[in-house]
A and B are shown apart, each in its own frame.
Chain A
Amino acid sequence: MRDLLEAVVQRGSEAGASFCEARFFEERSSSISIENGVARTLGSGILRGVGVRVIVGGRWGFASTNLLARQSVETALEDAIGGAKSIAAQRGEDAEIVDAKPEVDTIHHKVKIDPEDISSEEKVKSMLEIEKAARTFSDRVKDTFVSYREVLTKVVVCNSFGTSIEETTPRTYAYCSVISKRGDNMQTGFEFVGNVAGYEIVDGIQPEQFSRKAAEKAVKLLDAQPPPRGTYTIVVDPRVGGLFVHEAFGHNSEGDLVFGGQSIISDKMGEKVASDLVTIVDDPTEPKNGRFVYDHEGTKARQHPIVDKGTLVGFLHSLESAAKIGGEPLGSARAQSHHHPPVVRMSNTYFGPGDMTFEEVLEDVDLGVYLSGSQYGYVETQKGQFTCKVEQGWLIEKGELTDHLRDVAINGLTLDALKNVTAMGNDLRIDMPGMCGKSGQGMYVDAGAPHMRIEGITIGGRR
């Protein structure tokens, strides 16, 4: 495959492309779905193809195909070149990139247990055991769902700088969700694990801490109250903190949104954007779900400091954003598949730890809300307004957790919220393996935080 990609890059350069990149993508996945004790569906799929990207006449062109014959990939090159030429006369954003050091390497992420070595029957048996722990937790449990997914992703990147990278990454996931019911009241609880890892992920699952925990959450939420409405001091756990840092600040630090005029921090480099307690890092070298060695432009990944003690110190860069706003690309450009061009993405994003215990973070809160477990979030980066939906909460009264709360969502303005961080715990945990959506692409990421306290956050709810 590398020979084909290198030949296409050579041909693109000869055809006048000032930059040419050819990228092979293959993703093999298998899954098992268990519902109420029945292994109802087993599935598998293969995504495979080539994406070609060029700069011709100062404009970007991109084309992709699932057809791997040389002629088809060369047609994709012609389409990419034709595309770039077709928009040359249109008003737009010129293509510029920094010169990249060529990298030649082959990476295979190692696993302790290769999922291929475990039979499907064995996997089904393990998942059924995990599911049973949830189903038998209580007679309030109405429905249980457990799913397993293994993914092996191979990316080969060749470009006109002479880069030729191949990286193969295994990921394994398990997910459990439970619906509880009492009368008309139904609630859900869930748990998930996942990482750049093999079947050891499943072997490491203790049902009491996983599926029974999901069931316990679902059942206990039957007695929880809707949250109070208004502006409160909040304390968040590592998963909510992870969702918050990802949505509220991480997206704003993505270089393409910065040069594209879509970020509220585009003119704030070197300025104070958060309280002194806030340090934010994006680190693809952490052994978490967003781990990689080379990004999809072939840049070697390094840790990206974004905020240091409240001061903005860095953006996440692609080759293009580094050229346009200044900075060094540290490997943040990734693509969902061959059908997508690389865009700037977070990897493992987290708030750095402080020195307080959880109890100390809570103790000064007279009236507030403690939030636990992340569901989903989104941000309007151009306005700096974020929304995060969380699994559950508790009222905080005089430093103590009291009423249990359900269906809690928070909203705030990023820069106001970060300046109002008044306590940072010492218990950093990166534990939110999932997918992030941007520009129509999903990407493997992770996020985390220590327990932390933020003043003046809007809580939506029915009370």
Chain B
Amino acid sequence: MDTAEIDLVTPVEKAIGLLSSMGLDFFDVYAAYSRSPSIDILGKGIKEARSRTDLGIGVRAYKERGLGVAFSQSLELTDVETTLHRAVDFAKMAQPDPYFKGIPGPSKAQEIADLCDGEIKALTLEEAGGLAKRMIEAVESVRPGAMYSGGVGASYSRGYLTTSTGVCVEAEKTAISAFIAPTYRKGEDVGSSHEYDYAISLAEMDFGKIGKMAAEKALEQFGSKRVESGMLPIILTPDSTNTLIVGLMGAISGESAVKGRTFASGCLGKQVAPQILEIDDDGTIPGAIASGAYDGEGVPRRLARVVSKGTVQTFLHNSYSAGIVNVETTGHAVRRGYGGYVGAGPTNLRVKPGNSSLDEMIAETKRGILATNAGFFPNMVSGEFSTTIDEGFLIDRGEKRHPVKNLMAGGHMLELYRNIDLISKEGRTIGKGHFYPSIKIREIKLAGK
């Protein structure tokens, strides 16, 4: 069966009809299907061509503020019926959640353009294989002889959400991603790195550039050395900045943030960084990877000025977390597929460019670390982190020297934010939505030899 013919509306409407007569306080039903061709790269090149057809339906049922959730990977009406009965039975058994105040009603959102790309929708495995080949050939043009891991994956998805409060939203979307990690060897020495990109439309992707950058980054990793422990400035390039920003966004999103369970729970309205730091979250950018007219509860997405002049202006809410603190949802509900659970989180994150440049940051650093790939994922409760600089370089007398290995950085996330020194004017745009510049942190504690 051509998956484009799959009917999501009938099973959802059937479920809604049945749920309406079951004495529930609230409920929603979400059905989705997707088609995902992908190419797996391993060893000498392309290893496998894959095609996935996925569909399912999820039900959230509320009875006296207790929540029952159920899902099934079948849209057959008998399976849908079984699924909703499970959700309802569970809702009756669950205990009242004192924080739950209801689910959102309908609101009209502006349409967001360019979220579904015809080229991706029609992409064949043969074409996907050609894109993977282009990436590998670009690596080989820099230096042949690498061994690989990676892949190219595309997806077309369609979802349909209906709620007891009158929300009825249907959306379709495409996405494509590419990742390649070449590894070169010279005796015991290893030069290995990776490059990636993802987008809504094929036209946004440059597979040759991804391969070329991956090869160049891998070759730069030869001759890595350990460096001494100490306190040094660290410069995060955009891929490391990404994790710094996402770490804070996670801590100011949803119920954990408002229930006082994250290191940033007390940061609303407080200055956490120098005034040069500005972070926007915007799920309404046309053609951007994390855009959509509506969030996971059917609430219109909107621009949120999250950090302005270094001060946290808002948390990112779904209706549940917003209800706890008596504010309106910010349209940041996240529904990951048809599993039934709804959380909260950021969409397209954009850090405002600064006045410096990466070259200037390096040039003015007497001794420090350039972190090209490091994940600043904190303990979300305490805010403390201890992480490996997976890829980075020693900076000595204003110049990038050798790659580092076996080097760790530790500290507290809010300490990192307080110590932001410079932000670059150039940066990396990902998926036409996210923008991350390079950021220089005044000092960080490093553990080495």
Contact = CB atoms under 8 A, between A and B. Distances in A.
Interface of A: 38-49, 59-69, 71-72, 75-76, 79-80, 82-84, 86-87, 90-93, 95, 120-121, 124, 142-143, 179, 181, 184-188, 226-227, 229-231, 256, 259-262, 264, 339, 341, 380, 382-385, 387, 389, 406-409, 411-413, 439, 458-463
B217 interface: no
Nearest to B266: A184
Chain B interface residue number, banded:
35 or more
A389 B387 CA distance: 9
Interface string B419-447: 00000000000000000000000000111
B365 interface: no
A261 B182 CA distance: 10
Interface in B34-89: 37, 39-56, 66-74, 79, 83, 86-87, 89
B74 A462 contact: no
A331 to B, nearest CB: 21
B388 A46 contact: no
Contacts of A93: 42-47
Contacts of A84: 49
Nearest to A412: B406
Going nearest first, the 9 A-B pairs with the smallest beta carbon separation are A261-B147, A460-B408, A83-B49, A92-B46, A42-B90, A409-B386, A86-B126, A92-B45, A229-B447
Nearest to B449: A231
A25 to B, nearest CB: 10
A183 B132 CA distance: 53
Interface stretch (B167-175, B237-245, B257-265): B257-265
Interface stretch (B92-100, B276-284, B293-301, B322-330): B92-100
Contacts of A59: 46, 48-49
B138 interface: no
B357 interface: no
A41 B97 CA distance: 9
A62 B48 contact: yes
Contact of A43 (B46, B47, B90): B90
A409 to B, nearest CB: 4
A364 B71 CA distance: 55
A38 B411 CA distance: 35
B383 to A, nearest CB: 9
Contact of A46 (B49, B71, B266, B448): B71
Interface in B206-223: none
A459 B263 contact: no
B69 A229 contact: no
B382 A186 contact: yes
A409 B387 contact: yes
Contact of B50 (A95, A341, A459): A341
Nearest to A48: B73
Contact of A47 (B44, B70, B73, B126): B73
Given A41-B94, A91-B136, A188-B382, A462 B445 contact: yes
Contacts of A75: 1
Given A229-B447, A407-B379, 16 more contacts: A40-B97, A42-B69, A42-B94, A44-B69, A46-B74, A62-B50, A63-B50, A64-B50, A64-B52, A83-B37, A87-B126, A121-B93, A186-B261, A226-B410, A409-B387, A461-B445
